[in-house]
Structure 1
């Protein structure tokens, strides 16, 4: 990747201290950089990890998805790969302050650090979704986190290299990336499951969660959409999450019932 990083850390005055999972997780995030929101919590909820297993987060950012997963499933062995040094520092700080074990390494998919060239039971990822030149953010750190520089197929390939036989990839991405993701699964990944994410009932799904298994042979499954908000439109300043999504975002519930 061609990103340039002028600073190794975010100054404290440029950070917010945000609550996730009804305050069970506190996350330092840049006020003007890439900020995790619902996608990270949904990704963590979709990962089928169990205590004692290992999880690698590709592009872990400030650690939101990994740390939400660590709150939901204590006793995991967790590691993260992050391109931007500023976010590597934040992820390490966030893991320490929440007392969750998360080993974070700086690097990219093409130059995986030696320490991460080992097998994992699970890989999770939230790849960038804006095409080059298409991100609306003038902030370099946010643009790098959101802007596609590697095809989604490379994320699948990197995950497949790191997974044990039978291990699971869980990924959240834009719906328009689904053709590329599905074509990248073969021949090493199978048993694909796609959960569309619709903002409201009857709306087009703009995001999807994909789960696939290394060496899996089960038939592909396209599930009914998970609807994020109640009603036809936003109702003032009040939250309008559906009960299922509210349980995920506030209580740390998982998506096992939907994804199986």
Structure 2
């Protein structure tokens, strides 16, 4: 087990040395969620709690809940929440059979679904393989999220770009006002990941936003951090992505 600092040490999360380990994706996901104090948030597939806890560090007074399929990660999320002094309710279960404890409405649902194809080469670490492999179709993630949202509530997901068409197709008729923020590794590079925001009952036109660039310069030029100032403000400083969404 490692004890990893997030947001320049504002959070410390225990993570397995082998298996799925949170990196930048849950931090970006938390930064994109437009939650405000007093609202409720459900994290589908919360893992060790990284996204929920990063969100809580930025927005005080949230009511946080997480769903996690793997008992070991669910236990780790509870432990990480306690050691960071953040209240997080974690239920174990599958999103296709939502536990009774989470069968209620939320103002926000966030998710970082698995992105490796189900038919790909499996990881030698079973827990990592289960966390990253796309066993549940992306449309089922979207459907489960919309089911749990209050009318007018927001769904925020970070996705492999390859999963975006399926996620968008699953939004109607209950979800709309979709906004897609491409995450470009560098200026001029294709975005392999995107952030999708959509609203339950939303009617606004679809928006493809200007890419959010993560790294400065044309290529990696040494063993040092190369985040753009905007990315550093989010990944290190705990800022939000509201400016990117307009």
TM range (shorter): over 0.9
Tell me the CA shift for residue 133 of structure 1.
3.5
Cα pair 1:198 1:228 within 8 Å, conserved: yes
Tell me the CA shift for residue 80 of structure 1.
0.1
Distance in 1 separating the partners of 2:55 and 2:83:
16
Tell me the CA shift for residue 135 of structure 1.
4.9
Within the candidate set 14, 36, 39, 1:50 is matched to: 36
> Which residue number corresponds to residue 153 of structure 1?
139
Alignment of structure 1 residues 104-143 onto 2, 5 Å: 104-135=90-121, 137-143=123-129
Change (3 A) 1:235 1:128: same
Does the alignment pair 1:189 with 2:179?
no
Tell me the CA shift for residue 132 of structure 1.
1.3
> Which residue number corresponds to residue 65 of structure 2?
79
SS class of match (2:117): coil
Alignment of structure 1 residues 11-30 onto 2, 5 Å: 15-30=1-16
Tell me the CA shift for residue 153 of structure 1.
0.5
Distance in 2 separating the partners of 1:110 and 1:216:
24
Distance in 1 separating the partners of 2:65 and 2:220:
37
Cα pair 1:135 1:147 within 8 Å, conserved: no
Does the alignment pair 1:41 with 2:27?
yes
Within the candidate set 188, 195, 217, 1:202 is matched to: 188
> Which residue number corresponds to residue 220 of structure 1?
206
CA offset digits 1:171-223 (Å, max 9, x no partner): 00000111101110100000000000110111111000000000000111000
Greater than 3 Å deviation, 4+ residue runs: none
SS class of match (1:172): strand
SS class of match (2:37): coil
Within the candidate set 161, 171, 196, 1:175 is matched to: 161
SS class of match (2:197): strand
Distance in 1 separating the partners of 2:243 and 2:185:
20
SS class of match (1:205): coil
> Which residue number corresponds to residue 247 of structure 1?
233
Within the candidate set 48, 53, 70, 1:67 is matched to: 53
How many residue pairs get matched?
246
Tell me the CA shift for residue 240 of structure 1.
0.1
Runs of 5+ consecutive residues of structure 2 not aligned to the other structure: none
Within the candidate set 136, 145, 164, 2:150 is matched to: 164
SS class of match (2:116): coil
Runs of 5+ consecutive residues of structure 1 not aligned to the other structure: 1-14
